Amino acid sequence: MNYIFKPAAVLFITAVITVTLLSVAYNLTLEPIENQKRKTQEAAMKEVLPRADKFSEIQIELSGSMSAVYEGFIDDMLVGYVVKLSPKGYGGAIDLITGISVLTNTLIGMRVIKHTETPGLGALAVKGNFYRQFNSRELARLNVTRSSPGENEIQAITSSTVTTRAVTNAVNEAIEWYLKTHIPYHAKDEHEESAGSEDGGESE
């Protein structure tokens, strides 16, 4: 029986050692990997909401492809929101973030932070000539076009309409969330001024 037992014992010990080493390696590399992911995301958040110097995730009911929402502050003043979304693209989920300013009530920008889109096609969503189309936009629904873009239009990446639509629809979700859950400051001020005028007329 020894000729069976000894090889089996060796295989078992080898397997235990291998699993242990893999576990140790995983635990040693997990924290650096997570730290790098966090730094990459924070850098992207600063790009889409540059006036903020710190971010804090808030707990809200998420819908659609929304996966997280962060408040952006400078000192203790809220300057805007960063919305993280994960729409389905051509090659799988596309992780992106978009920034909205509460000071100007505008879409500040968008960045793709992770994707599995086709190299040379959908992968071009990370390039500046595409994502700059989302810079400093009014909070209105954006549409995709294959020709020269007009107002509230995003020009599709050549041969990558699926990716373009996925990104654009996700940005629209962020815009719709903001408009539904926040009264724009200027609209609130106009409402208060209007109410004040009406009250004044009635008091006279």
Judged by average pLDDT, the poorest of 33-47, 84-98, 160-174, 190-204 is 190-204
Q: Which amino acid is at 140?
A: A
pLDDT tens digit string along 109-158?
A: 999 999 999 898 889 999 999 999 999 999 999 999 999 999 999 999 99
Grade residue 40 by pLDDT with cuts at 50, 70 and 90: confident
pLDDT of residue 9: 65
Residue 189 has pLDDT above 80, yes or no: no
Distance of alpha carbon 137 from alpha carbon 134, whole angstroms: 6
Backbone angles phi, psi at 136, to 5 degrees: 50, 55
Distance of alpha carbon 58 from alpha carbon 108, whole angstroms: 20
pLDDT tens digit string along 152-172?
A: 999 999 999 999 999 999 999
Grade residue 204 by pLDDT with cuts at 50, 70 and 90: very low
Average pLDDT value over all residues in the chain: 83
Which residues, listed in sequence order, are joined to residue 123 by a DSSP beta bridge? none
Closest among 118, 126, 108 to 50, alpha carbons compared: 108
pLDDT of residue 36: 72
pLDDT of residue 183: 60
Alpha helices in the chain (DSSP H): 2-48, 128-131, 161-181, 185-203
Residue 193 has pLDDT above 50, yes or no: no
Q: Which residues contact 126 (CB under 8 A, 6 or more apart)?
A: 111, 112, 115
Percent of the chain with pLDDT over 90: 63
Question: How is residue 183 written in tokens?
Answer: 């009264």
Q: Which residues contact 62 (CB under 8 A, 6 or more apart)?
A: 68, 69
